[in-house]
Amino acid sequence: MNGSARAVGRGLLFISPWLAGFCGLTLGPALLSAWYSLTDTTLLDPPVYTGLSNFRRMWSDSLFWIALRNTLVFAAMNSIGVTAGSLGVAVLLHRAPARVAALARAVIFLPTVVPVVTACACWMWVFNPRFGILNSALTAAGATGGPDWLGDSRFALASLGFMSVWVIGSPLLVAGAALREVPRSLLEAAAIDGLGSGGRLWHVTLPAISPALMFNGLMALIWSLQLFGPPLIMTRGGPEHATLSYSMYVYLCAFSYGDMGYACALAWVQLALTLALSAAVLVVGGRFVRYRTT
Amino acid sequence: MGWDRDQSRRAFLGAAGAAAIGGAIWPRVPRSRVMVPPGRVVLDYWEKWSGTELDSLQRVIDRFNASQDRSFVRVLPVGDLTTKALVAIAGGDPPDLLGMLSYSVPLLAETGAAIPLDRFSPALDTGAYLPAVRALLSYGGRQWAGVTSVYALALYYNRAMFAQAGLDPDRPPRTISELDACAARLDIRSADGRLERCGFLQVPVWWPYFWPIMFGGVLYDSARDRAVFADEATVRAYEWVASYPDRLGLSEASGFASSFERSYHSVGDPFLSGRLGMIVQGPWIANFARACAPELDYGAAPVPVVDDLLDPTEPTGLLEADVIVIPRGCPHPDEAFEFVRFMQQQETQEALALAHAKSSPMADVSPGFHARHPNRSIRVHDEVMRSPRVRILPQTRIWKSYADRTLGAFQHAWGGGGLRESRRDRLLRVLRGVESEVQGMLDHAARLRSRRAGPGGRA
């Protein structure tokens, strides 16, 4: 055995705990779920091979379409909201005094470390139609009373989307770090050329930080396509399935309805959808992203 | 080098300290086994209850543990039990006993995930149960579960509020039209039009499938394995549901209902706090009333039905049960069955029913049961349970999925204000959609059953 093979062997030995975990806890179940997606099973009984029937079932399953639509709408709201929100706040903090910016960043990051159940419980009070701060503010502003944010199917999903933009701590850090990396010389050159602050932001800063924005948008998209906790805790998917998310539906099918085969098929469609949307974002977004060359 | 030596020493001392603390607090004997008397078979029992309900179950279990020296039941409260039970059974590592809801029985039976109780001997006396309870525990002609508690819903009403509004506190509404009339009398609005007190609302929405039954609906035709959710009775039921936000104003009614979303069975409960004059609830509310609103003067009556269904001697209602099953692959099935048998004794059932403020599921009730019962209206629940018109949930493995879809239909009816002229059509479309999808699931389940019953399959 030569030295390089020995080095590879030693490397594999060192990562073998991780490899064992990955194979046993991720790859194995993933392959098993691919098999289950072609079968009818509750897990309680032996799977019966049914070919692609689980995938065909989706066409006539209204809840599948509702969950898919809800998730896509939420993903659009969240990824745009989080990316734009974090950028806006990052730009403001970039111009703020250092101490103020550090304090604000810490405060804005705080929701990121709050457990989702706690955050949801707080937001339920914010959205409470009678006693919530949101409707109280609307009433104080002269409105005759705000809507039932979580109980009205017209507002429920939008309310969850609004809530999700609250968690911008991580993308804010990424955007802030990218802003600090914008070459000062470029900004000075643009200023000498007569560009105002808006022009410098549009023509210099945004192109310079576009890789970071792309990263934030992509992460937000992938995260929001897996939406699960908030609708489960706050609305249980209602009213009228208006907040039923795709992941929640997969979970319900697998563990509440005893339809594991169908749930696995749904999960594979979700993976395909996530990959496709991510690829689309990379391809379309890639046209607007400017990578710095050294 | 000095830095490295310091680091190594610090790391070593840290690790040694952590090991010492770990060693000191590591239990010498697994904590859960400390109380198990030697020589007993330990039976693990997963139960969905917690709090006072679990405490009272524990007292019953203590009696069982003291009554014999062969086995020892150890109960573990488990949240989201159905999910975890399915995974544990599928993984081949289930506990000895599972406390499930009765709707799980068909799924467990069809998949062979539970052991039928008629496999054990001596057999349980199924004639001791009320007929409807017996039906809930059985599937395909076999008994798959024992009962732990049962409930039938009733209409609870605030007697003091009735008297204040000029209504007779001893004459609760018996029909839907009487209910509507009483409810309207009990509503109170503030000067700015806000709903301060509501006579009646269909909250909490824990039983969205309940209302069609009170209008004569059946939900499921077991003889033909057909979903029945777009029939005239169901349409009328959900039209009636819609009449409440219509009358009160959708925004006001929704706001009022939502504000209690997380406060049921607490001091903030709409009925217990005097904000709702009438509510449909199970008998357990007596326990919460005693704890949260001891001064509340309440009464109960069978849930009102549509006028043409009224028969005061045979009230209509819905019966549900908490059940105990022995899962496939459990380590000690014979000992587990001994515990199930203990739980099915009249004395045990009554002890648990008294603690939970529920009815007894047994056909015979001891003479002092009602006198000692913490719910002064328990006879109302008993009447419903013993009525020939009491219904149980559809005995099908897809019920949970069906039930979730009925919630969507209920919420559609509730929030479907606006275009009045087309409401019935839109409602009918939604109900037909649910019915059609559920029928698809029923057909799918039937195909699966026949496929499994084929060569090499399980019958």
Distance from CA of B391 to the nearest CA of A (A): 22
Backbone phi and psi for residue B287, each to the nearest 5 degrees, phi listed first = -65, -40
What's the distance, CA B325 to chain centroid? Answer: 16
Q: Which A residues in the span 56-95 are in contact with B, Cβ-Cβ below 8 Å?
A: 57, 60-63
Question: Quick check: B400 and A259 CB within 8 A?
Answer: no
- pLDDT recorded at residue A294: 59
Would the pLDDT of B3 be above 60?
no
Summarize pLDDT for A244-258 with one digit per residue, the tens: 999 999 999 998 888
- pLDDT recorded at residue B34: 53
Quote the CATH superfamily of domain B154-219+229-317: Periplasmic binding protein-like II (3.40.190.10)
Q: Where are the domains of chain A?
A: 51-286
- pLDDT recorded at residue B251: 81
Would the pLDDT of B336 be above 90?
yes
B34-151+319-391 fold: D-Maltodextrin-Binding Protein; domain 2 (3.40.190)
Rounded Cα distance, A187 and B130, in Å: 84
Would the pLDDT of B334 be above 80?
yes
Q: Which A residues in the span 256-275 are in contact with B, Cβ-Cβ below 8 Å?
A: 256-259
Of the pLDDT bands very low, low, confident and very high (cuts 50, 70, 90), residue B419 is: very low
Rounded Cα distance, A178 and A211, in Å: 9
Of the pLDDT bands very low, low, confident and very high (cuts 50, 70, 90), residue B459 is: very low
- pLDDT recorded at residue B348: 94
Helices (H), B187-330: 210-214, 232-248, 250-258, 285-292
- pLDDT recorded at residue A146: 79
Angle at A73 between CA A72 and CA A78, to 5 degrees: 95
Higher pLDDT, B362 or B426: B362
Question: Quick check: A45 and B258 CB within 8 A?
Answer: no
Question: Quick check: B111 and A129 CB within 8 A?
Answer: no
Give ranges for CATH 3.40.190.10 in chain B: 34-151+319-391, 154-219+229-317
Quote the CATH superfamily of domain A51-286: MetI-like (1.10.3720.10)
Residue range B232-246: average pLDDT?
93
Summarize pLDDT for A122-154 with one digit per residue, the tens: 999 898 887 888 888 888 888 777 788 888 888
Summarize pLDDT for A102-116 with one digit per residue, the tens: 898 889 888 888 898
ipTM over 0.85: no
**Torsion from C-alpha of B125, B131, B134, B140, nearest 10 degrees:** 110
Would the pLDDT of B418 be above 60?
no
Q: Burial-class residue A198 by CB neighbours within 10 Å (0-12, 13-18, 19+).
A: exposed
Summarize pLDDT for A8-36 with one digit per residue, the tens: 999 999 999 999 999 999 999 999 999 99
Question: Quick check: A45 and B452 CB within 8 A?
Answer: yes
- pLDDT recorded at residue A220: 93
Residue range B58-65: average pLDDT?
94
Question: Quick check: B108 and A256 CB within 8 A?
Answer: no
Of the pLDDT bands very low, low, confident and very high (cuts 50, 70, 90), residue B8 is: confident
The set of residues, in sequence order, having a beta carbon less than 8 Å from that of A71 and lying 6+ positions away, is: A224, A225, A227, A245, A246, A247
Rounded Cα distance, B390 and B383, in Å: 9
Question: Quick check: A43 and B86 CB within 8 A?
Answer: yes
Distance from CA of A19 to the nearest CA of B (A): 23
Show residues of chain B in contact with A131, CB under 8 Å.
259
Residue range A35-52: average pLDDT?
88
Question: Quick check: A129 and B433 CB within 8 A?
Answer: no
- pLDDT recorded at residue B262: 77
Residue range A77-100: average pLDDT?
91
Task: Establish if A151 touches chain B: CB-CB under 8 angstroms.
Answer: yes
Of the pLDDT bands very low, low, confident and very high (cuts 50, 70, 90), residue A55 is: very high
Would the pLDDT of B236 be above 60?
yes
Residue range B15-33: average pLDDT?
75
Summarize pLDDT for B269-280 with one digit per residue, the tens: 999 999 999 999
Rounded Cα distance, A158 and A73, in Å: 9
Side-chain-side CA neighbours of residue B62 (13 Å): 9
Of the pLDDT bands very low, low, confident and very high (cuts 50, 70, 90), residue B111 is: confident
- pLDDT recorded at residue B456: 44
Task: Establish if A45 touches chain B: CB-CB under 8 angstroms.
Answer: yes
Residue range A222-245: average pLDDT?
91
Show residues of chain A in contact with B107, CB under 8 Å.
42, 44, 258
What's the distance, CA B388 to chain centroid? Answer: 21
Residue range A186-196: average pLDDT?
87
Residue range B298-325: average pLDDT?
94
Would the pLDDT of B1 be above 90?
no
pLDDT above 70 as % of chain A: 99
Summarize pLDDT for B364-402 with one digit per residue, the tens: 999 989 999 999 999 999 999 999 999 999 999 999 999
Of the pLDDT bands very low, low, confident and very high (cuts 50, 70, 90), residue A69 is: very high
Distance from CA of A90 to the nearest CA of B (A): 37
Would the pLDDT of B455 be above 60?
no
Rounded Cα distance, B266 and B272, in Å: 8
- pLDDT recorded at residue B457: 42
Task: Establish if A51 touches chain B: CB-CB under 8 angstroms.
Answer: no
Can you give chain A as a three-state secondary structure string? CCHHHHHHHHHHHHCHHHHHHHHHHHHHHHHHHHHHCCEECCCCCCCEECCCHHHHHHHHCHHHHHHHHHHHHHHHHHHHHHHHHHHHHHHHHHHCCHHHHHHHHHHHHHHHHCCHHHHHHHHHHHHCCCCCHHHHHHHHCCCCCCCCCCCCCCCHHHHHHHHHCCCCHHHHHHHHHHHHCCCHHHHHHHHHCCCCHHHHHHHHHHHHHHHHHHHHHHHHHHHHCCCCHHHHHHCCCCCCCCCCCHHHHHHHHHHHCCCHHHHHHHHHHHHHHHHHHHHHHHHHHHCCCCCCCC
Higher pLDDT, A59 or B450: A59
Q: Is residue B100 a contact partner of residue B49, using CB atoms and an 8 Å limit?
A: no
Would the pLDDT of A2 be above 80?
no
- pLDDT recorded at residue B458: 44
Higher pLDDT, B396 or A288: B396
CB atoms within 10 A of CB B181: 13
* Closest alpha carbon within chain B to A256: B83
